[in-house]
Amino acid sequence: MNEVILECRNLIKTFDGIRAVDGVSLTVAPQQIVAIIGPNGAGKTTLFNLITGFLTPDAGSIYFKGRNITKLPPNKIAQLGLARTFQDLRLIHRLTVLENVLLARPNPLGETWYGAIFARWQKSELKEREIAMQWLQFVGLASQANELAGALSYGQQKLLTLACCLAFGADLLLLDEPVSGVAPATIEQLVDYIRQLPKMGKTVVFIEHNLEVVKQLVDWVVVMDEGKVISEGKWDVVSQDAKVLEAYLA
């Protein structure tokens, strides 16, 4: 299974008689950047929710690093090395930038938020802070480490969300619309940071409507429409597929 980190087999999810995900199968190779694109309502976020355990498929199976994770809860899937971001950023605005990243770390210091942030085990605490600061440095937010997360601009909050996801230490990152609503300068930063991740041993699967960003980043692209995969492959091929053009023009 070294050539496949994630595999979905014939996934089906129905809501009120409508198949939001309709027989989706896909494979993701390690240390690749894969985009899942398609019109609104195509089933992209539902697919992410199935992969990460927030929804259980009606049929089909999901394998991560060769292990069947189909019925595992989100926390167990995350512990195996799979992290995600959400369209709603899910930051804690009243905590600092650094504290948000510390909370994202696996097995944080102590079992409570208080323990995670103010633990007295100095040696471990210093190491956790060092790791958190490294990821804040990576996304260009080290100088804002002690600011409240809620005081950041929306684009900076997107960068912080990426830092939190990376701080978790996962091998596979699922990013839901990472550049949506972000100013062009910050989009350039995010593209640059995401592009570097495979060199760090990370695999990235992301949902995105900004096709210029998709074009810049992807090794492979999967196109969904009405719950189905209608095309997949290299960007230059998929972008000229008649089925894809029709889906976006419909």
Q: Are residues 183 and 241 in the same domain?
A: yes
Q: Are residues 156 and 137 in the same domain?
A: yes
Q: Are residues 21 and 56 in the same domain?
A: yes
Measured N-to-C along each axis, helices 154-167 and 184-196 cross at an angle, to the nearest 10 degrees, of: 10
86: in domain: no
| Contact assessment for residue 80 and residue 67, using Cβ atoms and an 8 Å cutoff | yes
Please report, for the domain that includes residue 36, its CATH number: 3.40.50.300
Q: Are residues 180 and 77 in the same domain?
A: yes
pTM of the model: 0.89
Q: How many CB atoms lie within 10 A of CB 101?
A: 29
> What range does the domain containing 44 cover?
1-81+170-250
- Considering 169, 190, 205, which residue would you say is the last residue of a domain? 169
- Considering 124, 152, 169, which residue would you say is the last residue of a domain? 169
Q: Are residues 69 and 96 in the same domain?
A: no
Q: Are residues 163 and 46 in the same domain?
A: no
107: in domain: yes
Distance between CA atoms of residues 97 and 101, nearest Å: 7
- Considering 143, 169, 195, which residue would you say is the last residue of a domain? 169
Q: Are residues 3 and 63 in the same domain?
A: yes
Helix ranges (H only) for 19-167 are 44-51, 74-79, 97-104, 113-118, 122-138, 154-167
Q: What is the pLDDT along the chain (250 residues), one digit of tens a residue?
A: 458 999 999 999 999 999 999 999 999 999 999 999 999 999 999 999 999 999 999 999 999 999 999 999 999 999 999 999 998 889 999 999 999 999 999 865 544 555 555 554 454 778 889 999 999 999 999 999 999 999 999 999 999 999 999 999 999 999 999 999 999 999 999 999 999 999 999 999 999 999 999 999 999 999 999 999 999 999 999 999 999 988 876 5
102: in domain: yes
Q: Are residues 50 and 124 in the same domain?
A: no
Q: Is 152 left (phi over 0), alpha (psi -120 to 50) or beta?
A: beta
142: in domain: yes
pLDDT value at position 158?
Answer: 95
Distance between CA atoms of residues 28 and 30, nearest Å: 7
Domain count, the chain: 2
Q: Are residues 110 and 179 in the same domain?
A: no
208: in domain: yes
Q: Are residues 238 and 175 in the same domain?
A: yes
119: in domain: yes
Q: Are residues 124 and 72 in the same domain?
A: no
Q: Read off the tokens for 191.
A: 């593209």
Q: Are residues 77 and 185 in the same domain?
A: yes
